[in-house]
Amino acid sequence: MTDESYKGYRGQALSTLKNFEALVWSDVEIKTATGQHIGIILPRSENGDDKHIVIKLRSGYNVGIACEKVEDIHINGRKEAHYQIPEKAFPFDPKKPNVKLLGTGGTIASRLDYRTGAVIPAFSPGELYGSVPELADICNLQTEKLYGVFSENMGPDQWRGTAEAIGREIQNGAQGIVIGHGTDTMHHTSAILSFMVQNSPVPIVMVGSQRSSDRPSSDAALNLMHSVKTAADSDIAEVMVCMFGPTSDIYGLLHQGTRVRKMHSSYRSTFRTIGEIPIAMVDRQKITPLRNDYRKRRDDRNVIINTAFDDRVAIVYYYPNMKADIIDSLIDNGYKGIVIAGTGLGHVNKPLYPALKRAQDKGIAVYMTVQTLWGYVQMYVYDTGRDLMDLGIVPAGNMLPEVAYVKLGWALGQSQDLEKVKEIMLTPIANEITDREPSNGYLIFQGGIPEVEDFISRYQK
Amino acid sequence: MEDFVFKPFEEMTQEDYSRIGFKSGLEVHQQLYTERKLFCRCPAGQYSEEYHAEILRHMRPTLSELGEYDGTALMEFKTKKDIVYRINRATVCTYEMDDTPPFIMNDQALDIAIQVGQLMDCNIVDELHIARKQYLDGSIPTGFQRTAIVSVNGKIPYKDREINIIQMSIEEDSCREVSDFGHLRVYKADRLGMPLIETVTAPEMLNPQEVAEVNQIIRKVARSTGKARTGIGAGREDVNVSVTGGTRIEIKGVAHIKSIPLLTYNEAMRQWNLLRLRDELSKRGITSDTFQSKTDDVTKLLKKTQYEPIANAISKGLLVKCVTLSGYKGLLSWKTQTDTFFGKEISDRVRVIACLSKTPNIIHSDSAENTISSADGQKIRKSVGAKEEDTLVLVWGDETDTDTASREIIIRAKEATVGIPPETRQALRDGTNGFERILPGAERMYPDTDLPPIMITNERLVRLRAEIPAPFWIRLKEFKDFNISDDIAEPLSISKFATVFDYAVIKLKLNPILVAHALIQFSKRLKKKKFNIDLLNNSNLEQLFISVADGSLAKDGILFAMEMIIKHDGKYDPKLTIPANEVDIKQSFDKCIKIMNEQKLYNYDKRPEILIGLIMADLIGRCNGQDVRKYVSNNFRMEA
């Protein structure tokens, strides 16, 4: 008898079940000191204690029964769950564009794992068609699962693999690419893909969901429709993030991959374009460009894939009273590049100067970004800034800290020559540094202000 | 099928109900009195019509953990509604908007739920598992209600038997519906997330009156904790009804207990009549295997109709579809409930599922009403090739809606060959009920992965048990033994002051009638005078009775002392009511004689009474009437 038969149970609970040979999914009557329970024994979450047995009552509710109270378990049968999204072959229509969906993980399509209580991604064209049949109205969809990781586990290997897969699919004739991704680090991946995949002739759209697709109110289905619509129909050949504009089920926004950031831990409309406006709005019917300076779709297949990456790079988020040992430890551990998220226009305190001098002497590339996220680094305004530039710190314009981090890794992957690295870093590839910040590029609606309240009350958020 | 024909409501006897096998069970919802909501820190119980923002959402069905789609979920998905939530900043945060994960469960609410379970002699679960119960009607923005079984297998005494309590759960309340028309449903989100308990009885009530009576008992149990909300909407019930050969039907959203008897009577009648309808169909040779129907577009044939709803629809470019139900002649006029016919069941489905909300939304050939001309009717009949014994149903709307509608008409008509489709039905004001949705099953339950299970320790159970009085039916008996009159005993048995009563009578040995009178009648009197009696609580009332017991508060000063507690924000100050001594009474007597003598009196011989009244008012709360009376009779001479 394998442990699978008593999935998730251990200790006292496991021995109680073994004692009555009551396997998981058994339909049972459990007699306890305080009464009787009828239902199906469910697997136990691995984080649960070892003192309770979980059963699903006839009403569909689950309850935990203390195993010390169990007097008898009578087994009447067995009902095992077969969790499967109905799988239907994705229809093919020669008139519709071919879109490739590359999966890296996340909750775009998912199911529950009873041992951990977590959500496990499920992913195939058939499953997707079974749960979001509307996709077939938009395109012919093919899927490929590259990875199945939560987004915090994405790193250089996965970035390279994803970039290469994109290159391959473009060569294979895909008219648009969608990348399913967990949302937490989606903006890191969208940034690095903006560098690793250049001159794409087709849209590359990253998408995820903030409410997993096992919930009726999930944003997954609509995000998927928006992203597939963008990949299939839009003329925007950029790396983009496609997620909810407002929290309402109305439209999505297409954010440039290098200018986007997750700004709320749980809101549906968590992704915001920083220091610019989004490229376009997308709903189920149409794509409405908000800018016109994006790269246009082409018929050629001349994509450039450059997956260089040196991962000896770190971000240092400066805080008051930071000690030099933070920088020293990076130097001592052989880091080649440091991105500082400095205060205000790009500052750190004096006690760091000696360590920064050491970094300069060691030939470490140090770049300054701003922790205000919005706005440019400007190191001439105050003495501190000038001091820091004397220490070899390079201002990175209005590049977001995370974007500067992945770009520095990418630059160092191509050259260790600091001048060359600087040239790569400061030459914008996909608007990671912009020449100018539009007047509407900085908007955080602040609740409480009468004008804003008036605006919000008149529109579905 | 027995040949029993339903009598009018008033004439039905227990024998009649037994004959049809009437059975009913209850799901009683009771809001709990907590400061905050169940899974977030928003204030509970603040309702307002004002809102600051709107959110638009759609619901999609998902699989249960057993890998099945729920029937209701699929139905709601067919309806494709835009759901709009109205959000008031003061009462709704990002949790209710489904933009923030749940916070841990409100402990205060769980305590109350456990106590109610204890009062119903339930088996409290050892580990509470929070589940998600799907509601795709949009009444909860997540698309599911967070709910958890607190206790199972309880019982409450009723007549000479016991009614079994299957389970009691704690759950978050849903939104209040503002409107539902066509493809748009609007909700207010202020009530959303408030803690409530749902008590489910076994189907053991055997006539409509019993259902109402048992419902009262369950409400009283919750109220007797002093921690259940009262007032409009604080208690709501779903009533399950079945008859022999019928199906368990859930009537939802019953707001008043007094409407239950008529509702359950009508539902029993509906089921009985639908079973008779099935027999009639079977007599005609129509079963689910032989059932035949078809749908045709008849828009062109009705271009010149005078019947307004259809003429209007056609002028807007909408379609008219005709569903032919073979052999159904007359059956859409088959009586189901009081003044209600089978055609209504079909029209309801079209309204709810196809979102054709404006009624009439169908017309049919079994109706005697004046609709399309008989010439048009004949034209259609000929064109679709229907026979004399067939029923034609017309429905109008856009392509999608009429498609859905025709399918639903056929589905519902065909279900009549099987019997009574499992549905939840909506209580209507006239005592009948209408279709609300397909009855959801256990498939709509799945575990909430956002929150861990909560272990309920024995220590917690013991502590909670000690905080609550005995069940109200036991208390009621005790009060009667104390000779407390029914009009006081009844409210006292479910009063939040039950433990104060025990304290004052058992511990302080005060007169039970005096204490009961003070707790019930005085607080009622104060409430009438617009005093906020919520400020009276166990602690300040116990202090008050201690003063009575040790003689530092006159018995006739209790009402005044209670008033003082409220006036002083819930603080009992014995100094305000120090009993008057002989000297105080003499001083007051002298003062009041002067006052009296300055008045022109018409009832001169009533002077002792008037004097007593003046002194009592002067020494308010500080003396007993009998002491003053004694003093006056000893010291006042009529001649003076």
Other C-beta atoms closer than 10 Å to the C-beta of B630 total 12
List the single residue in B with minimal CA-CA distance to A32.
B123
Q: Average pLDDT in the B26-52 region?
A: 95
pLDDT tops 80 at residue B619: no
Encode pLDDT of B215-230 as tens digits: 999 999 999 998 999 8
- The string of pLDDT tens digits covering residues B501-515 is 999 999 999 999 999
Would you say residue B453 lies in a domain?
no
pLDDT per position as a tens digit, A400-433? 999 999 999 999 999 999 999 999 999 999 999 9
- Final residue of a domain: which of A254, A273, A305? A305
Asked if residue A390 lies in contact with residue A368, where contact means CB atoms within 8 angstroms, the answer is no
Active site residue A262: yes
Residue of B27, B39, B124, B152 to mutate when probing chain A, most A C-beta within 10 A: B152
B301 with B335, same domain: the answer is: yes
- The pLDDT value given to residue A116: 43
The better pLDDT of the pair A80, A376 is held by A376
- Annotated catalytic residue A273: no
How high is the pLDDT of residue A405? 98
Q: Residue A415 sits in a domain of what CATH number?
A: 3.40.50.40
For residues B68 and B215, state if they share a domain: yes
B429 part of a folded domain: no
pLDDT at A119: 52
pLDDT over threshold 80, residue A130: no
In terms of residue numbers, what domain contains A317? Answer: 313-426
Q: What percent of chain A has pLDDT over 70?
A: 93
Same domain, A152 and A300: yes
Q: How far apart are CA A458 and CA A450, in angstroms?
A: 12
Contacts of B70 in chain A (CB under 8 A): none
How many other CB atoms are found less than 10 A from the CB of residue B103? Answer: 16
| % of chain B surpassing 90 pLDDT | 71
Examine the domain organization and report whether A170 and A299 are in the same domain: yes
Query: Measured between alpha carbons, how far is B551 from A151 in angstroms, rounded to an integer?
Result: 73
Indicate if A344 and A422 belong to the same structural domain.
yes
Same-domain pairing of B305 and B251: no
Same domain, A295 and A333: no
Q: Kindly tell me if the per-residue pLDDT of A80 is higher than 60.
A: yes
Quote the minimal CA–CA distance from B135 to chain A in Å.
Answer: 8
Confidence (pLDDT) at B621: 72
Residue B66 confidence (pLDDT): 46
60-89 of B, contacting A, C-beta below 8 A: 60-67, 69, 73, 84, 89
Whether the ipTM is more than 0.85: the answer is yes
Query: Do the domain assignments include residue A453?
Result: no
Which of A34, A59, A211 shows the shortest C-beta gap to B123? A34
Domain match, B112 and B182 both: yes
Stretch 229-288 of chain A: residues touching chain B, C-beta under 8 Å: 247-250, 264, 266-268
- CATH code for position A200: 3.40.50.1170
Distance (Å) from the C-alpha of residue B62 to the closest C-alpha of chain A?
A: 6
**DSSP 3-state of B559:** helix
A130 and B CB contact within 8 Å: no
The pLDDT assigned to B639 comes to: 59
pLDDT score, position A110 = 56
pLDDT of B602 > 80? The answer is no
Residues B517 and B606 in one domain: no
Chain B hits for A117, Cβ within 8 Å: 447, 449, 452
Q: Hey, are the CB atoms on B67 and A114 less than 8 Å from each other? A: no
Q: State how far the Cα of B435 lies from the Cα of B456, in Å rounded to an integer.
A: 39
Same domain for B240 and B325, yes or no, is no
Q: Check whether residue B590 and residue B537 sit in a common domain.
A: no
Query: A133: closest CA among A87, A182, A180?
Result: A87
Is B489 a member of any domain? Answer: yes
Q: Say whether B142 and A85 touch across the interface (CB within 8 A).
A: no
Q: Which pLDDT does position B370 carry in this prediction?
A: 87
Q: Which residues of A touch B453 (CB under 8 A)?
A: 45, 48, 52, 54, 64
Same domain, A140 and A265: yes
Give the strand pairing for B23-31 and B161-172.
unpaired
Any domain includes A85: no
Which regions of A79-145 does DSSP assign to beta strands (E)? 98-103, 110-112, 119-121, 140-145
Which of chain A's residues have a Cβ under 8 Å away from the Cβ of B153? Answer: 35-36
CB–CB contact A81 B447 (8 Å):
no
Q: What was the pLDDT predicted at A319? A: 97
pLDDT at residue B65 above 50? no
* Segment 402-461 of chain A within 8 Å of chain B by CB: 447, 453, 456-457, 459-461
Residue B67 with chain A: CB contacts under 8 Å: 81-84
CATH for B392? 3.30.1360.30
In chain B, residues with a C-beta closer than 8 Å to the C-beta of A111 are 63
A177 and A251 fall within a common domain: yes
Residue A175 has pLDDT above 50, yes or no: yes
pLDDT surpassing 60 at residue A2: no
How far B248 CA sits from the closest chain A CA (Å)? 14
Rg of chain B (C-alpha set): 32
Residue B575 has pLDDT above 90, yes or no: no
Q: Is the pLDDT of residue B79 over 80?
A: no
- Do B317 and B208 reside in the same domain of the chain? no
Total tally of structural domains belonging to chain B: 4
**B149 pLDDT more than 80:** yes
B239 domain residue, yes or no: yes
Regarding whether A287 and A185 lie in a shared domain, the answer is: yes
Residue B636 has pLDDT above 50, yes or no: yes
For residues B248 and B320, membership in a common domain is answered with no
B207 pLDDT more than 80: yes
Q: Is B50 on the interface with A (CB under 8 A)?
A: no
Active-site residue flag, A422: no
A290-301 pLDDT per residue, tens:
999 999 999 999
Residue B423 lies in a domain: no
Asked if A221's CB is within 8 angstroms of B60's CB, the reply is: yes
Separation of alpha carbons B37 and A107, rounded Å: 28
Nearest chain B CA: its distance from A264 CA (Å): 9
Q: Taking residues B546-562, report their average pLDDT.
A: 86
Question: Is residue A47 less than 8 Å (CB to CB) from chain B?
Answer: yes
For chain B, give the mean pLDDT.
90
Mean pLDDT of chain A: 91
Q: Residue B190: enclosing H or E segment and its boundaries?
A: none
Residues A361 and A391 in one domain: yes
Q: Is residue A325 part of a domain?
A: yes
Q: Give SS3 for B605.
A: helix
Chain B hits for A264, CB-CB cut-off 8 Å, are: 99
A356 with A237, same domain?
A: no
Where residue A117 falls among pLDDT bands split at 50, 70, 90? very low
Cα distance between residue A45 and residue A29, in whole Å: 21
pLDDT at residue number B78: 63
* The last residue of a domain, from among B259, B281, B303: B281
Q: Looking at the structure, do residues A296 and A408 belong to the same domain, yes or no?
A: no
pLDDT at B381 over 70: yes
Tell me whether residue B266 is in a domain.
yes
Whether the per-residue pLDDT at A345 is higher than 80: the answer is yes
> Is B90 within 8 Å of chain A by CB?
no
Range of the domain at B621: 582-635
What is the percentage of chain B residues whose pLDDT exceeds 70? Answer: 96
pLDDT over 60 (residue B344): yes
- Does residue A253 belong to any structural domain of this protein? yes
Instruction: Clarify whether residues B80 and B183 are in a common domain.
Output: yes
B618 band by pLDDT with thresholds 50, 70 and 90: confident
Closest CA of chain A from B215, distance in Å? 21
Task: Point out the domain boundary residue: B250, B281, B312.
Answer: B281
User: Residue B211 pLDDT > 90, yes or no?
Assistant: yes
Residues in chain A with CB shorter than 8 Å from the CB of B439 are none
Mean pLDDT (whole number) for B116-125: 96
| Average pLDDT, integer, range A30-39 | 90
Query: How buried is residue A198: exposed, middle or buried, by Cβ count under 10 Å (0-12/13-18/19+)?
Result: middle
Pairwise CA distance, residues B464 & B118, whole Å:
9
> Residues B15-36: what's their mean pLDDT?
96
- Model confidence at B474, in pLDDT bands (50, 70, 90)? very high
Same domain, A139 and A37: no
Average pLDDT over residues B618-634: 80
Residue B286 has pLDDT above 80, yes or no: yes
Q: Between residues B298 and B618, which one has the greater pLDDT?
A: B298
The answer on B161 and B51 residing in a single domain is yes
pLDDT value at residue B622: 77
User: Span A132-137, mean pLDDT?
Assistant: 86
What is the structure's pLDDT at A115? 43
Q: Which 423-452 residues of chain B touch chain A by CB within 8 A?
A: 441-447, 449, 452
Is B421 among the domain residues? no
Q: What is the CATH number of the domain that holds A26?
A: 2.30.30.520
Q: What is the pLDDT of residue A1?
A: 46
- pLDDT (mean) for B70-91: 77
CB contact under 8 A, A69 and B453: no
Q: Does B46 share its domain with B105?
A: yes
Residue B83 clears pLDDT 80, i.e. is over it: yes
Among A7, A100, A229, A262, which one carries the catalytic annotation? A262
**Contacting residues of B for A215, CB less than 8 Å apart:** 62, 132, 142-144
Which of A251, A275, A305 corresponds to the end of one domain?
Answer: A305
Residue A24 falls inside a structural domain: yes
Residue B483 lies in a domain: yes
Mutate to test the interface with A, among B66, B85, B92, B199 (most CBs of A within 10 A): B66
Contacting residues for A93 by C-beta, under 8 A, at least 6 apart? A136, A140
Domain end residue (candidates: B281, B304, B332): B281
Active site residue A100: no
Residues 137-156 of B with CB under 8 A from A: 141-144, 147-149, 152-153
Q: Is residue A52 within 8 angstroms of chain B, CB to CB? A: yes
Q: In chain A, how many domains are there?
A: 3
Residue A460 lies in a domain: no
- SS3 call for B67: coil
pLDDT digits (tens, 9 = 90+) for A247-279: 999 999 999 999 999 999 999 999 999 999 999
Q: Which helix (H) or strand (E) holds B473?
A: helix B472-481
Token pair recorded at residue A131: 């749960």
The residue of chain A with its CA nearest to that of B141 is: A217
Does the distance separating the beta carbons of B143 and A267 come in below 8 Å?
no
A412 and A359 assigned to the same domain: yes
Give the pLDDT band (50/70/90) at residue B443: low
Residue that the structure tokens 């409210």 belong to: B491
Chains A, B: CB pairs < 8 Å: 172
Residue where a domain stops, chosen among A305, A339, A358: A305
pLDDT-based confidence at A122, cuts 50/70/90?
A: low
Query: Environment class of residue B553 by beta-carbon count within 10 Å: exposed (0-12), middle (13-18) or buried (19+)?
Result: buried
pLDDT given for residue B585 in this prediction: 83
